[in-house]
A and B are shown apart, each in its own frame.
Chain A
Amino acid sequence: QQQVKQSPQSLIVQKGGISIINCAYENTAFDYFPWYQQFPGKGPALLIAIRPDVSEKKEGRFTISFNKSAKQFSLHIMDSQPGDSATYFCAASKEGTSYGKLTFGQGTILTVHP
């Protein structure tokens, strides 16, 4: 079953623009929400993560916005650069008593044009 839904499937942005990727989850037991970046031929790499006790987290050009009541979270990439072109995955897991098994979204292919 699809527990984490991600959109859009692909996104094209001009250099300097803002890229926004959205995710929605179903399982209210999830308590850790990371975003991963994957380049072709590479494994996913952690970009930024958030816990549901905060509504926003910013690291450099990357910001996660989290809406617990709507069970949605999004990734914003400010000042998008051609080097940001990659596939982005949102994910969710249950920490605490669980061991952090990740449930991933379907992925968004981001292309940033120079």
Chain B
Amino acid sequence: GAGVSQSPRYKVAKRGQDVALRCDPISGHVSLFWYQQALGQGPEFLTYFQNEAQLDKSGLPSDRFFAERPEGSVSTLKIQRTQQEDSAVYLCASRQNTEAFFGQGTRLTVV
């Protein structure tokens, strides 16, 4: 595709519900990142994949957060037992050389 695609664009979850957020990176991009952007803040790193290998998950806030990229293309960020503090925009980025290309994000609201 022309850019990084994320779905859904918006997600409302009841507290305790599990959610899955999808990222389709730019074709051929080896590197894929997930960031969390709280309202009025800059994005914060969650995790990094090189192809299918998750090389860094140091930014995941708790063991309720899990990410995968099984075939080295599409990635899914899963949040189990959502809490109100998980409400944020979740951004996916794929990278070519030094430039990271971001998707539009998924806005997650936990009620």
Contacts and interface: CB of A to CB of B under 8 A. Distances in A.
A101 interface: yes
Interface residues on B, range: 20 to 34
Contacts, number: 56
Contacts of B100: 46, 100, 102
Tell me what chain B mostly uses at the interface: helix, strand, loop, or mixed.
strand
Given A99-B55, A106-B42, A107-B41, A41 B50 contact: no
Interface in B7-53: 31, 33, 35, 40-45, 48, 50
Given A42-B104, A45-B102, A106-B42, A99 B48 contact: yes
B56 A89 contact: no
Interface of B: 4, 31, 33, 35, 40-45, 48, 50, 55-56, 91, 93, 95, 98-105
